[in-house]
Structure 1
Amino acid sequence: MELRTLRYFVAVAEELHFGRAAARLHMSQPPLSRAIKQLEAGLGAVLLHRSATGVTLTPAGEALLEEARELLDRAERVRARVAAAAGPATLTIGILGDSSDTGVARLAAAYRRRHPGVEVRIRETDLTDPTCGLRAGLVDVALTRAPFDGTGLEVRELRADPVGAVLRADDPLARRAHLELADLVDRRWFRFPDGTDPLWQAYWSGGEPRQGPVVRGVQECLQAVLWNGTVGMTPLGHRPPGELAVVPVVDVPPSRVVVAWNRTDPNPLIGSFVRIAAAAYRA
């Protein structure tokens, strides 16, 4: 069994769907299906029950999933120890500034347990760079939100958060149970500077060009709403000050929390970080 094949199987076993697993692995579905069939043939056991709606694990598949995760984790620890022996082991993580994501605390604790000898460096960035310095080579891996231009990057989704409009508490719309983008069409929005990733800019402006104050950070966004009565989007999990309110917007897709890294980066600590992040966010 190759580690690559085990990674394929773990992706299918976690997603319980070949299409989603193929997208996660950035490959097409036919070679993924062939690899799993070859794995089953080599083991002499059926690992998955396939149906039109997805797959379920057989008892043999459940046993392999547990063992495969341990083997993959062990392989990453081996790589990390070898890298550590070759020199000081460091990992620089880019994070969007002023994030209140509780998943980060679970991830940090899990990573310290797995790699106590690795020096972790954190680089916070403002909202104008969704890759948190990844493209400029300032970080090894980014813990951020999509969408953004993923050219040359690997991106794995960790969680999806519903979003809402952040408004002043005395705004008439703040009393609504939910909103649609059409309710905000005539309002001024906060927006990001020219040159910001177009996909990122479009998502946070509801897919339309907007007029309003230019902001760079979370606190600037909130102050723009407080002082100017502008509106903007924010994940529902973020709790603004009492003078502000967040109302769900039902026709905007969820904001995806992702981990991203450069596709050609040889740093052996990145693969381990991605797997630990996926497990921490599933918890």
Structure 2
Amino acid sequence: MMELKHLRYFVAVAAEGSFHRAAERLCIAQPALSRRIRDLEEDLDVILFHRSARGVRLTPAGKVLHAEALQILDRLTQARLRTQQAAAGKFGVLNIGLTTVVAEMRAAVAAIGQARHRVPEVEFKLHLIPSDRQVSALNRGDIDIGLLYRRPPHPPGLAYRDLRTDRYVVMVPASHRLAGRTSVRLADLEGEDMMFPSPELRPETYREMLEACQRGGLEPRIVLQAEGLINMVAEGIAIALYNSALAENAKIPGVVYLDVEDLDIPLQLSALWEKERETPALLALVQLLETAFVGSAKGGQGKRSPARRKAG
């Protein structure tokens, strides 16, 4: 049966034009090498070399096998290299989880784009997953790194880098009774129709926001379970608590963003991943994210904006 070692021996003899020199190159005894080549010829039922006192040269059948053997051995070398690169994270797929908020952040998107150019052998796949579900996705192996708003306590087995801290503001129509204020307290929103996260889709966020409102003396009157529907606010359907990171870039006429003095929910944007599954591509992305967010903070992103902002 033809084996890879037979092909390596055959290629070495063809390259050297001599069994003696090939045996020295392969560090085996010449009689053993000769037997291997005879075994290969018998297996294929062909003569591969013309033998003479001056050395050996390929027969027509030998030339065909030589060309094929070179391709096979080259592909084997490439397969070994790519397998090792994949194990080291220099080849393969990096699955990235990110929230819709993060997907709107230029710094995050720019870092991912730079990482793709820095590690072109790795395919970067993006998955939109709410923060509430990303830790489970990491534990299942559905994603390799998550960009999310993390909550204490820190999940065991996960490494993280904090990137920026945001907060909630409240969105109200420009014609709203509170629109002229510089800031509000939660109790000021009592009786207002509100948009709130779905407890089924985002249970942790729903619980966190509800408890924070109740601590501030507000029992939310929820009329719509959704998030980010700014036009609903503009038309006076409902007011909504909104991530300040999105408010920085939203340009919807007729909507005002107000600081909420006593809403004590820090939004800590972080990159999370399993320490045991670190790869060069993953760490390169983390480094680029840190650099991008430091630069964006210097430009004003992530800082506390003026209390009253009117879009458009």
> Could you tell me the TM-score, scaled by structure 2's length?
0.54
CA distance in 2, matches of 1:281, 1:122: 19
Is the contact made by 2:173 and 2:233 (CA closer than 8 Å) also made in structure 1? no
Letter in 1 for 2:291: A
CA contact (8 A) 2:145 2:271 kept: yes
Show CA shifts across 1:183-241 (max 9, x none): 2244343222335565533444471353414535533x653674522332321424251
2:273 is equivalent to residue 269 of structure 1 = no
Amino acid across the alignment from 1:255: L
Quick check: 1:96–1:127 contact (8 Å CA) kept in 2? Answer: yes
Partner of 1:243: 254
Q: Name the structure 1 match of 2:155.
A: 151
Distance of 1:233 and 1:121 partners within structure 2: 27
> What is the Cα deviation at residue 120 of structure 1?
0.5
Contact 2:171 2:241 in 1 (8 A): yes
Count residues in correspondence: 203
Q: 2:114 is aligned with what amino acid?
A: A
> Against the structure 1 CA distance between its residues 197 and 85, is the aligned structure 2 distance closer, same or farther, given a 3 Å change threshold?
closer
Partner of 1:102: 106
Distance verdict in 2 for CA 1:140–1:192, change over 3 Å:
same
How far apart in 2 are the matches of 1:265 and 1:92?
A: 12
- 1:119 deviates by 0.8
The CA distance in 1 between the partners of 2:100 and 2:131, in whole Å, is 7
Map 1:61-76 → 2, pairs under 5 A: none
Q: Which runs of 5+ in 1 are unaligned?
A: 1-79
Instruction: State yes or no: 1:231 paired with 2:240.
Output: yes
Partner of 1:218: 228
Unmatched 5+ residue regions in structure 2? 1-82, 215-219, 296-312
Q: How far apart are the structure 2 equivalents of 1:155 and 1:202?
A: 24
- Distance change in 2, residues 1:85/1:261 (3 Å): closer
For the aligned residues, what is the CA RMSD? 3.4
SS at match of 1:190: strand
Q: Judge conservation of contact 1:127–1:217 (CA < 8 Å) in 2.
A: no
**1:92 touches 1:139 (CA, 8 Å); kept in 2?**
yes
Q: 1:208 aligns to what SS in structure 2?
A: helix
Return 164-173 or 183-192, whichever deviates more.
183-192
**Does structure 1 conserve the Cα–Cα contact (< 8 Å) formed by 2:232 and 2:238?**
no
Cα offset, 1:141, TM superposition? 0.9
Partner amino acid for 1:230? I
Give the % identical residues. Answer: 18
Q: CA deviation at 1:89?
A: 1.9
CA distance in 2, matches of 1:216, 1:129: 17
**Aligned residue identity for 2:127:** R
Preserved CA contact (<8 Å) 1:128 1:192: no
The structure-2 alpha-carbon separation of the partners of 1:100 and 1:119, relative to structure 1 and needing over 3 Å to count, comes to same
Larger radius of gyration: 2
Among candidates 176, 179, 182, match of residue 171 of structure 1: 176
